[in-house]
Amino acid sequence: MEAALDELIAALRCLPGVGNKSARRMALHLLERDRGGARRLARALEVAAETIGHCSVCRTLTASITCPRCQDPDRDAGVVCVVETPGDVLAIEAATDFRGQFHVLLGRLSPLDGIGPEELGLDRLEARLRDAPVRELILATNASVEGEVTAHYIAEMAARQGVRATRIAQGVPAGGELEYLDAGTLTHALSGRRDY
């Protein structure tokens, strides 16, 4: 194949979940059926790569020094939701009416992978708990072993600062059938039960 096409296919393979066949299909589609879309995609990627960085307060992705959520005076600065990725922020914003602020870890504790508190910038979160009027820290890390360890570590940090730490509910999804759930999900659901 031509070097330019091979380069495009290789570039598309950097996306998560995109293998060689999918990358080839995307590249051919853009070149055969949507050259305008290809140019628009190239421009958008170039602009995003040059202008988007991390918010100085919450660490989500933004094109400004401080993201619009952190600048919004109508959001409750006393309630901070801790998530692992900027994608988690977008998911919560799209699915809920949460009006507090966020703190993005950009990962989770994983000593085996060399990711400790320093790599997650937990000193910045601790400073935020100490210096800002935070009264509740919502721990919304994933329900993986690393996510649970991260939540526990941050809960202890919050306790040292006198800040209430809560954990998002986990367990049976709406419409889920018990017989098809894994043991971990059922364990979380039973241990996290509440009054009816």
pLDDT one-digit tens code per residue, 52-111: 999 999 999 999 999 999 999 999 999 999 999 999 999 999 988 999 999 999 999 998
Q: For the chain, which residues make up each domain, given as ranges?
A: 3-51, 56-167
pLDDT one-digit tens code per residue, 46-57: 999 999 999 999
pLDDT computed for residue 195 by the predictor: 63
- Options 3.40.720.10, 3.10.129.10, 3.30.70.20, 3.40.1360.10; CATH of 56-167: 3.40.1360.10
pLDDT computed for residue 1 by the predictor: 60
Q: What span, in angstroms and rounded, lies between the C-alpha atoms of 79 and 165?
A: 10
pLDDT one-digit tens code per residue, 7-33: 999 999 999 999 999 999 999 999 999
Superfamily of domain 3-51: RecR Domain 1 (1.10.8.420)
pLDDT computed for residue 120 by the predictor: 94
